[in-house]
């Protein structure tokens, strides 16, 4: 559910788990992000096969993503799992990804099960 976010600078995959290694930043080349590449692939496939279906891309929300990553380690930039900068920085990193998907014509669903968990 979150492994593809390893492309976000500041997140790191160690021992098969995604954690926070340093300050979280936005991706510099959005079109290389796997969710955007996947969307373009599906859109091109549908166009090639003369389909006009809408495509929805699901993105894990910042609270859920931040919590899961922080449980696996927060590095030295953030204090602990409760550091609000984690969630602010992840929100800022996700914003351009979501904007790019919308520009390309995707519907976007932000999955945030962390909100209902308190």
17-52 per-position pLDDT tens digit: 999 999 999 999 999 999 999 999 999 999 999 998
pLDDT at 76: 93
For the beta carbon of residue 83, count every other beta carbon within 10 angstroms: 16
Res 85 pLDDT > 80: yes
pLDDT reading at 74 higher than 70: yes
Measure the CA dihedral 58/59/63/65, to 10°.
Answer: 120
pLDDT tens digits, 86-112? 999 999 999 999 999 999 999 999 999
Residue 118 has pLDDT above 70, yes or no: no
Tally Cβ neighbours within 10 Å of residue 103.
10
Ramachandran area for residue 36 (φ above 0: left; ψ -120 to 50: alpha; else beta): alpha
Confidence (pLDDT) at 15: 86
Contact of 38 with 97, CB cutoff 8 Å: no
The pTM for the full model equals 0.92
Beta partners for 110?
Answer: 59
């Amino acid at each position: 559910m979150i492994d593809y976010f390893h492309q976000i600078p500041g997140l790191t995959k160690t021992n098969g788990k995604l954690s926070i290694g340093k300050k979280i930043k936005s991706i510099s080349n959005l079109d290389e992000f796997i969710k955007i590449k996947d969307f373009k692939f599906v859109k091109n496939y549908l166009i090639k096969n003369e389909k006009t279906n809408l495509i929805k891309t699901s993105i894990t929300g910042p609270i859920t993503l931040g919590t899961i990553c922080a449980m696996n380690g927060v590095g030295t930039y953030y204090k602990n799992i409760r550091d609000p900068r984690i969630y602010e920085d992840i929100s800022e990193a996700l914003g351009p990804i979501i904007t790019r998907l919308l520009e390309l014509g995707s519907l976007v669903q932000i999955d945030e099960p962390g909100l209902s968990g308190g």
